[in-house]
Structure 1
């Protein structure tokens, strides 16, 4: 009997190992075709000296080092600003028990998942409307403000998670020894938060150094970064060698930032196993909580409210002309047609991202050695190259293919899926790691094989996490702007690309249509984020009730 059990275990592990390797083959093939191929074409073009232009000559001609410095500086300033703005929000969500916390988390998270072009439109409406008295026009100030709005959620999520792992008994011990609340925070809490703050800074630097939509909308034509210059040289001036040289420099910078971000993110915050307990606001804490809520309203709510108001009052008069203008197809696809294609494309991209991301996450959590390392690389590769660089690589690669293939409507969903896969992997790896191996062994003992075990045990226990991953993948896919700017054609015009086009056209109707289309994208993103956050809040409350009953 024991021998039969050992044989079953051996056979199950063998099947599981084979399935794991076969499952990893799909992400490898997808990445090779959708990611490595266009970048390989770009690199080969960079190494081609048939035009007698070297990389250093192209960098000198385009002022690449100056653009690199400007790109890095604005990304660093944006990261610092996001940390400063997020600091009181982190305190509120970590230390104060407020009713409606789930709604507050929706408000904080929503800006991060909004399309960058929509954020650019919102801040343009904000500085041309309620905050016009500040005299902030197009330029770096408005760009950094929009970047701050976009990335507050990064700081809140990362640092709150670290703060909630600090043992409150250690703070109480410091207070009992005579330390003031401020001294206890500096000596006990702050050292445990610094790695999370540093990781947040690196991540935001990475995101802002590859920002495109915000710079295009709010730059006023004078703000230039590596991202915008790649598009200008490659598409605007058709100077392919210069665009390729800038893309190579962009890849080097982003990979360096990604390496720093992963290095800092791998630093473990000391954990005690005891979660910190938020307290109900009283006295000075209640006053501070109200002040932070006002702060959240100014930074995170006002831009969205302004966008909604301007969509209903584009020319100083209330009405729905902007939404009616979404039906106008005088200059090509209407906003409604683009929305229809965007939803269809994003749904297909979500299916692809979930399938590939789930296979990668399964290989990461069940494999070791080469399998785990390969899965880890696959999960971060799309973050290592900017969307504009990827889109430019596709421009070069598709030019070598027949028109029927280059114009395929499947190209845009595949690129959107590539951007969303890291999100799926990031959500599913922790969820799958929490599945007990004993449950898999029990299912295998009852006769289930590798795939059956995965479907009945792993997927059943992580269904909610998978739903959340799919929801965020959909939001990211429908809002992708950088790469699809290069790939959009008459029959594959996504709504973010159309919004950018409308903002560049003269006329009040085009401006009104851009505002209305932006509101639609905000509404879609808000519904998805709210569904995820309230589901997570309900799950947390259920676990707390079970724990209380058990106690």
Structure 2
């Protein structure tokens, strides 16, 4: 769920527990009623559910990955000394996991604090957060001074949380000899299989339930069985629809912007990686946090900054890929830099001794590693651009919407047609993002990526 665009998550939650979601459909059939028993839309509860669904992967990835790499000898030594399993957990395992738990908690707090799409779509303007208020002041009221002040407050609070995260990590970190997960993994015992099976089933239900509901409702919305009507409607622009152009044009726009973003991000990220790959000095000390600065600023704040700073380009198509590049370039850098640093210069020296020139040495020694990292970086940039919503909503033109903007427009308007188109477009975007993640996992070199 964490790699899905926020508009897809919002659409998936409504497809599961919204007024026309699967759960309400089942309950209405069960109790023979025409009124949805569950009405959580534009309440704090659906926002909390969506954020919990969106960020549970952070805990699994952060805490679970660290837990799986803990040396089992620590627990075995405590057990030999007579400690029971609960005592081993409370006195050995939990203190060791504390840094990763705090790290995951602060990351989730930061992601929720800067959340925009989920709050705007599911909560509306009545649940105004800093991000939503910046958007409202800049776009709806055109009160740029207030929007600028709120952006500065948002940036200050975000950097304060990031500083707290770094400081706590340094204080609570315990030097450990971590093991590869494959080295410490052991098959569950007979009685543990029930717990493992139940946990896996529960996680699959929680993580995949909303996404599967999204796909299901995109084909069954309306109650007339399976239909492709809402996918076919994406090619039309009916009068009662919410779009200025046929929704399928948004797919073309997104692909164009994503392609331009990929090219710009690869150039910027690869050049930055070569600058940082040199032996550490004052230049890399300054540039390293500078290149990561966009990750600490919300997309809405970035979009507002472009509105203020890029006056002559406000109506230009190039503004969207420029904004997307600023967001995607850190992902390219952090995917390409570890692979670049992993290159062994002795291999190039050996190739030179054997008579290979610099170009041939690079092509036969460096290229096999770097090309895979470059491909992963390109997929990262392409996917980030496809799903970007906050900045795009502020700077895109009405006649060139992207897929997330079209989904937001459809979810914001009444009518079964608009909602069905939103589900269909969300399913397409979810499929593309899923394929991209699978490709990243396929081509990524183990241990050479920071994401």
- Aligned to 2:298, which of 386, 390, 404? 386
SS in 1 for 2:126: coil
- Taking the TM superposition and a 5 Å limit, the aligned residue runs for 1:155-194 are 155-194=59-98
Aligned to 1:300: 207
Aligned to 2:384: 476
Q: 1:447 Cα deviation (Å)?
A: 7.6
Aligned to 2:339: 431
1:224 and 2:128 correspond: yes
Deviation digits for residues 330-379 of structure 1, max 9, x if unmatched? Answer: 44122211111101211221222222222223322323222222331233
Distance 1:442 1:382 in 2: 40
Distance 1:178 1:464, change over 3 A: farther
Q: 1:282 Cα deviation (Å)?
A: 3.2
Aligned to 1:521: 429
- Taking the TM superposition and a 5 Å limit, the aligned residue runs for 1:241-252 are 241-252=145-156
- Taking the TM superposition and a 5 Å limit, the aligned residue runs for 1:22-421 are 111-128=1-18, 129-132=21-24, 133-264=37-168, 268=173, 270-272=175-177, 274-276=179-181, 277-318=184-225, 319-330=227-238, 331-398=243-310, 400-401=311-312, 405-421=313-329
Q: 1:394 Cα deviation (Å)?
A: 1.4
CA contact (8 A) 2:235 2:246 kept: yes
Deviation digits for residues 470-499 of structure 1, max 9, x if unmatched? Answer: 222221110000000011114431110111
Distance 1:259 1:334, change over 3 A: farther
Distance 1:450 1:271 in 2: 41
Aligned to 2:33: none
Distance 1:272 1:528 in 2: 33
CA contact (8 A) 1:475 1:528 kept: yes
Distance 1:345 1:426 in 2: 22
Distance 1:313 1:221, change over 3 A: farther
Distance 2:335 2:65 in 1: 15
Gap regions ≥5 residues in structure 1 = 1-110, 541-551
CA contact (8 A) 1:409 1:491 kept: no
Distance 2:165 2:235 in 1: 44
- Aligned to 2:369, which of 429, 443, 461? 461
Q: 1:152 Cα deviation (Å)?
A: 2.0
Deviation digits for residues 144-182 of structure 1, max 9, x if unmatched? Answer: 211122222222222233223321222222222222223
Q: 1:382 Cα deviation (Å)?
A: 0.5
Q: 1:508 Cα deviation (Å)?
A: 1.4
- Taking the TM superposition and a 5 Å limit, the aligned residue runs for 1:437-516 are 437-443=345-351, 457-516=365-424
Distance 1:321 1:206, change over 3 A: same
Distance 1:535 1:182, change over 3 A: farther
Aligned residues: 424
Q: 1:265 Cα deviation (Å)?
A: 5.2
| Greater fraction helix | 1
Q: 1:287 Cα deviation (Å)?
A: 0.7
Q: 1:459 Cα deviation (Å)?
A: 4.1
Gap regions ≥5 residues in structure 2 = 25-36, 447-451
Distance 1:222 1:452, change over 3 A: farther
CA contact (8 A) 1:138 1:218 kept: yes
- Aligned to 1:531, which of 431, 439, 448? 439
CA contact (8 A) 1:342 1:494 kept: yes
Deviation digits for residues 191-246 of structure 1, max 9, x if unmatched? Answer: 22211221112222222111111011110332110000111111101112211111
- The worse-fitting range, judged by mean Cα deviation, of 433-442 and 417-426 is 433-442
SS in 2 for 1:219: helix
Distance 2:318 2:392 in 1: 12
Distance 1:302 1:394, change over 3 A: same
Distance 2:329 2:169 in 1: 19
Aligned to 1:97: none
